[in-house]
Amino acid sequence: MILAGRDRNRRIVFAVNGLAQDLGLRIGMPVTQAQALIPGLTVTDAEPMADMAGLERLALWALHRYAPIVAADPPDGLVIDATGAAHLLGGEAPMLHDIVARLGAVGVAARAAMADSWGAAHALARFVAKPMFLAPAGTSRDILLTLPIAALRLPAEMIAGLRRLGFERIGDLADQPRAPLALRFGPQLHRRLDQAFGTLAEAIEAARPPDLIEVRRNFAEPIGAAETIARYTGILVAELCTMLEAKGLGARRLDLVFHRVDAQSQAIRVGTALPVRNVKRLTRLLCDKIETIDPGFGIEIMTLCAARSEPFGPKQLTSLLADEPEADISDLIDTIANRVGGDRLYRFAPVASDVPERSLSRIAATAPPTKTNWPDHWPRPTRLLPNPEPIETVALLPDHPPVNFTWRGIRRRVKRADGPERVFGEWWKRDAELIAVRDYFRIEDDAGERFWVFRAGDGEDTATGSHRWFLHGIFG
């Protein structure tokens, strides 16, 4: 299938799906030629305006979720400046994975790349990523030299002209004298080349939703000192909190963007666990990250917006004068989460399951209590291993605990033991667990350390398990 549209008086191919591309169709070829090559080809009219509107909606989605500086990169891309924001998703690689996975979940096939510049990321996403590619810092130039010249965001006519002269790779252009090429093709060629190499700044026109709550400060003289930036950060936060209060909202995510005199932008993104409009608290969260900002030759504009806000109403702390107020640790949670990443800060909640590794789940640090209670009929270890680890044991079957066991190369003699606690498989989830059982024992070695071990199977019938022993948790 192809999408077709008009270029002056010609009807050309605007887009092709994977099968059509494998059959030799390409963007820009005449539709009549494509139909001649593939009889019965499905041709659908392209809708560039609708595509652009969808791309802008996608940019707003990425703005709310990933970074404070996001823009559409027509006709089929987004550019995201992840500086100062990637850590909130666990780092650059997890961020790329999350983008591709979330788009794929709704049927959008995406490729994502991260590099030192917009031009480099644009090229790597289209010519290298399968479906993701993360270029280590400082290596983008070397990778770009091996890519075709079509990766430089040049007009099709210019690419065709360069190919007629024998230029196929970006590396063929990089070492050529500039004056003759600029005389023939104009300044755009080397501008795109410098932007891809990161030697020429490229401003990003960030997407902004119409209902965004935002404050802005222009400076007659550029500023650069950290103390000055912190002072104006506090002023902007106070103005933003006043606007939030007027709307009955609290901030859940703030984006502070610094526009430098060299047309570059840098940003700070912080999030909160609960809606907040406390000026001191929000100022402190933002000021903690000022050290990550490079003011360059000076900052001429600062903008602060509430990228995410929620209703903020009064909260009753206690019902009786004698009641102790509940401790508010959300400020501590916000501080830690903005330093290490929100996905790394969580708490465990019980899940209705007898299988130990399924009996808990991760939830947000400030999530409300669940209705499921922790099991209290048998003691549980304070540390559960991610996966049960095999151990070598000496034990009598079918119901006796180990006499000794070897774990991670260390042989331990069992001094005390309690059990077994039999756990049955969840047959409604997997057929393999229909008759599977585990027998758990709490054991203590001669050094006083206590462990949680189990035998796979009932000790008699091999159909219930392998009868191998595993260590699953540690007490204390």
Do the bridges between strand 112-114 and strand 132-134 make them parallel or antiparallel, or are there none, so unpaired? Answer: parallel
> What's the rounded Cα separation, in Å, for the pair 408 and 440?
19
| Rounded Cα gap, residues 128 and 124, in angstroms | 5
Maximum mean pLDDT: which of 25-39, 292-306, 425-439: 292-306
Decide if 240 contacts 250 (C-beta within 8 A): no
Please check whether residue 99 is in contact with residue 82, taking contact to mean a CB–CB distance below 8 angstroms.
Answer: no
Two structure tokens written together for 398: 């079918």
pLDDT over 70, % of the chain:
97
Q: What is the model's pLDDT at position 102?
A: 94
Within 10 Å of residue 78's Cβ, how many Cβ atoms?
Answer: 23
User: What number is the average pLDDT over the span 127-145?
Assistant: 93
**pLDDT of res. 323:** 60
Q: In Å, what is the CA distance from 240 to each residue of 68, 129, 245, 309, 359?
A: 16, 40, 9, 12, 43
Is 31 exposed, middle or buried, given 0-12, 13-18 or 19+ CB atoms closer than 10 A?
buried
- Contact in structure between 282 and 254 (CB atoms under 8 Å): yes
Helix axes 330-340, 279-287, angle to 10 degrees: 20
The pLDDT of residue 342 is: 75
What's the whole-number mean pLDDT along residues 50-73?
Answer: 91
The closest alpha carbon to 464, from 454, 473, 451, 453, belongs to 454
Q: How far apart are CA 83 and CA 313, in angstroms?
A: 33
Confidence of residue 368 (pLDDT cuts 50, 70, 90): confident
Q: Is the pLDDT of residue 320 over 80?
A: no
Burial readout 111-135 (b: 16 or more C-beta within 10 A, e: otherwise)? bbbbbbbbbbbbbbbbbbbebbbbb
From the list 79, 65, 69, 64, the residue with the least C-alpha distance to 258 is 69
pLDDT band at 129 (very low <50, low <70, confident <90, very high): very high
Instruction: Determine if the peptide bond prior to 420 is cis (ω within 30°).
Output: yes
> How far from 200 is each of 173, 197, 264, CA to CA, in Å?
17, 8, 10
What is the end-to-end Cα distance of the chain in Å, rounded? 62
- State the pLDDT confidence band at 135, using cuts at 50, 70 and 90: very high
**pTM (whole model) above 0.75:** no
- 187-237 pLDDT, tens digit per residue, is 999 999 999 999 988 888 888 888 889 999 999 999 999 999 999 999 999
Q: What pLDDT score does 9 carry?
A: 84
| Cβ(66)–Cβ(103) below 8 Å | no
